[in-house]
Amino acid sequence: MSAYYVNKLLPELYRCVDQPMEWVNILDRLRVDLDVASVVVQVFDQSNTGDLVQNWVMRDSLSLANAALHDKWVNNADNPRMYTGTTDSLAIIRDEEIFSLPSPTVERFYERLKQARLGHAISLEIKSPNNQYITLIAHRKHGDKRGFSRFFDDCFQQLAPHILQSVALSEKLNTLSLKHARMRQVTDHINAGMMLLALNGKVYWSNQCAMDMVQRSEHIGLSNDKLTLTHSADQQVFNAMLAEALSQVELSPRLMATIGQYRFNPLQLLVTCVDVPVHDMGRPSETMIAVFFSENDHGFTHLDEEVSQLYGLTPAESRLAVAIANGLSLEEYAREKGVSVGTVRIQLKSIFSKMNITRQQELVRVLWSSVSARTCRAHDFLSINSRLS
């Protein structure tokens, strides 16, 4: 009976890997079918001092509704179950086995269970390969004196490897999701649009700069999650670049073109192949297309403070340095700020001294090669045309 019962639970149990709230449904089924008051899954890490620290907890819907009450009286560091020792592999433990001898601590704990409206419990304890401790614990209702039959043992033992696997897969998925989120945050600081495309043209991944360009550029867009170019001539150029890149996968060619070069605000495009090894046995490496976008008429005019930090410039000097890097002449800058050209020249001389350079061309080169210019976000950019209008 228990094997058949557990097998019916497995599809829902493995759905918990990428749908954590499915735990509520499966624990609800266990609570009803086992006729208990509460069923909870907990994962504990072991601290350097050997204490167990709760990593996460999943509860049935009734326990979830009473979570504050249960946490106040039972699910906390005062629970004596936390100090009964840990198993080396797998164990099924009833409260009467660890609290067989009466003591003030045990009496206080049973009083706390009463406050939480819970009775005695049976627990499945599993030690995972990464030294985590996983517990499935079922409580009777307060006042329910029934013991836990052999069915509980059989059911818990057969559930054990699947709970262990589900938790392990969830941990791996959470780790990968966290890595992806962190990498996404990092790449969002890069001022070039970046996309990874599958061979069918669908966007597999992109940074925020690329998505901003898709929203505002007249030259590119998304159709059914595929990268498309608005104008047919540009689409033909792009298709030719993709075909050439795929014909030279081993060389990872860097193919470049200007999209919309006879229209407003053209885009520079770089296409190359990324050949990613797949570690599954028997599967070949996976080829994807990396696409980089850059706009021509954007500077880094919002980054005066960063330029000041990098080169020790005063606020006025950093504003002048950035303006020159964005293409303004000294006369244009002086007019815009309402100061004399002589004042601007004095500021420029001070900039040259602090940056150890002698010409405006060097200033432009140094600023555009700076970490500030290469990593400012797309929404920090300001069009020179709009700034001068």
Q: According to the model, what pLDDT value does residue 297 have?
A: 57
Q: According to the model, what pLDDT value does residue 378 have?
A: 44
Q: According to the model, what pLDDT value does residue 385 have?
A: 34
Residue 101 contacts residue 86 (beta carbons within 8 Å): no
Fold of 2-178: Beta-Lactamase (3.30.450)
Q: For the chain, which residues make up each domain, given as ranges?
A: 2-178, 188-295, 304-388
Q: Which two tokens stand for residue 204?
A: 């597999």
Same fold, 188-295 and 304-388: no
CATH number of the domain at 304-388, please? Answer: 1.10.10.10
How far apart are alpha carbons 71 and 73 in whole angstroms?
6
Query: Can you give the pLDDT of all 389 residues of the chain as single tens digits?
Result: 578 888 989 999 999 999 999 999 999 999 999 999 999 999 998 888 777 889 999 999 999 999 999 999 999 888 888 777 666 789 999 999 888 888 898 899 999 999 999 999 999 999 988 888 999 999 999 999 999 999 999 999 999 999 999 999 999 999 999 998 998 888 888 888 999 999 888 999 999 889 989 998 899 999 999 999 999 999 999 999 999 999 988 888 899 999 888 788 889 999 999 887 766 656 667 889 999 998 865 556 567 888 999 999 999 999 999 999 988 999 999 999 999 999 999 999 999 999 999 999 999 999 988 888 887 654 444 333 333 33
Q: According to the model, what pLDDT value does residue 384 have?
A: 34
Residue 92 contacts residue 151 (beta carbons within 8 Å): no
CA dihedral of 8, 11, 12, 16, whole degrees rounded to 10? 150
- pLDDT digits over 324-377, tens only? 998 899 999 999 999 999 999 999 999 999 999 999 999 999 998 888 888 765
Return the residue matching tokens 């998505």: 211
Residue 195: how many other CB atoms lie within 10 Å: 23
Residue 300: how many other CB atoms lie within 10 Å: 23
CATH number of the domain at 188-295, please? Answer: 3.30.450.20
Diameter over CA atoms, the chain: 95
- pLDDT digits over 82-112, tens only? 777 666 789 999 999 888 888 898 899 999 9
